Structure formats: structure tokens, C-alpha cells
Structure 1
């Protein structure tokens, strides 16, 4: 894929043009991501989340988060070593952090770029992470979607 950025001061607004020999899955995915970015607004996509631990607020890149998980009415972000409270609801995070994160159960969102291992169980699967003892459960309902997304990421 070749990416070209042209600065034209006469253009009134940002315009994205995709030149492609054929419309396929990758182009469709790119179109979806761009549409989500446009509808969410740049401030919602770019502004960092606030992670809370004890009485301290932390600001770091979402790529450090392995998964988000609910416990009761609270949402927690899990990194390799720590767990932080997040003020947003899971569905808000799902919309805001797509396409890197995807729902894997009613109570969890997974960073698909952080997946190291996938172990199949009777009721679904568990996801393991490199350099972390943490595991997260994938329900049977979302298992097929996760496998497809992991295959897509491998093929990109």
C-alpha cells in the first residue's frame, strides 16, 4: 500500500481519496475505519483516556492496554503488570477504540494486537499475553469473530 499526502490550501476540508485496482476486503475495512474516524470526531479518537489507580490519574497510550474488563459497575484496564479504573463504559470504549479493540464477551474488550496465545476450552477460550501472567476469557459467541480478526491481522 502506498500512502500519499498532498497539501492543498484551496481545499476547504479534509478529503480522502482511495485509488485501487479492485474493491476487496482490505479496502472495505479501510473505508469503515475512515468513516468511524469521521463520525466519531477527531477529538474523541485522539484524546487519551484517563486511567486511575489509587488517587493518581495516569495518561498513557491505549496500545499498552491488554484488555478492558468489567467488575460489577466498574470498568478496568489491564496492562502487563497493573490494573487501572476507567470512567467510560465498555460500549463507549468499544466505539472509541475500534478497530484495535474488539468485544470478546459481555464483559471484556481485547486489544487484538496484544494476543500471544489462544487456548480453546469447552465454554469458549482464554487469551494469553506475552510477558504477562494475565488471562482473559473469550465466550463461545465471540470466539469465531476473534479467530477471523486474528487471521485478518496476520494477513495484513
Structure 2
């Protein structure tokens, strides 16, 4: 991918032009990300996620998170060993963390790069992670999308 930035003082507003030989999934994801970018609140999209446990705030790389899961009204980020409270709604996290994370049920987002094993069940599937006893539930509705996404990741 080639990125070019041109400064032109004659144009009144920011303009983004994508030139591509074909419209594919990568271009579609880029289009969605650009549309979601709100120039009125860039600090909201770019600010790091704060993870809370007891009375301590933690700041670490989002790649360490295996999955996000709701429990009642609270959202928790699960790492290999711990679960941290997050002060964002699941849909906000889904928008901010694309394309690494994807929805796997009504109440969970999964880090696709952290998947180690996928076990099919009657009601959906469970995802296993390397070096962690935690599992995440995938509903039937999202199973096909996850399977396709994992295939894409393997073929890259």
C-alpha cells in the first residue's frame, strides 16, 4: 500500500482519495474506518484504552487482550491471566479495534490473532487460547464469519 499526503491550502476541508485497481475487503475496511473517524472528536478514537483492576489503572497493548466480554452492564477485557474492567461499551470497542477484533456473539469481541483452537458445539463454538485456560463462546450467528476470517488470516 502506498500512502501519499498532499498539503493544499486552497481546499476548504480534509479530502481523502483512495486509488485502487479493485474494490476488495481491505479497501472496504479502510472505507469503514475513515467513515467512522469523526474529526470533531479525534481524541476519542485515538486515546488509549484504560484497563481497571481493583484501584489501579493499567495501560498495555491491546494485542495482549484475548477477548472482551460483557457481564451485566460491565465490559471486561480478558488477558492470559486476568480480567480488567473497561469503561467503554462493546460497540465502541468494536469500532475502535477493527480489524484485529471481531464480534463473536452479542456479548463478546475476539482478538482474531490470539485464537489457538476452535471447537464446534451444538450451539456454536468455543475458542481456546495458547497458554491460557480461558475460553470464549462463539454463537452460531457469528461462527461462519469467524471461520472465514481465520481462513483469511491463515492465507496472508
TM-score with structure 2 length normalisation?
0.84
Distance 1:4 1:73, change over 3 A: closer
The 1:4/1:43 distance shift into structure 2, 3 A limit, reads: same
- Residue 46 in 1 paired to residue 38 in 2? no
* TM-score after normalising by structure 1: 0.84
Change (3 A) 1:34 1:75: same
| Greater mean alpha carbon deviation, residues 36-45 or residues 130-139 | 36-45
Q: How far is the alpha carbon of 1:7 from its aligned partner? A: 4.7
Backbone CA RMSD of aligned residues: 2.3
Per-residue CA deviations over 1:117-155 (Å, capped at 9, x if unaligned) read 211111111111122221111011111121122223334
Aligned to 2:154: 154
Kept in 1, the 8 Å contact 2:29–2:99? The answer is: no
| Alpha-carbon distance in structure 1 between the residues aligned to 2:109 and 2:152 | 18
Q: Does 1:3 align with 2:2?
A: yes
Cα distance change on mapping 1:151 and 1:36 into 2, 3 Å: farther
Structure 1 runs, 4 residues or longer, greater than 6 Å off: none
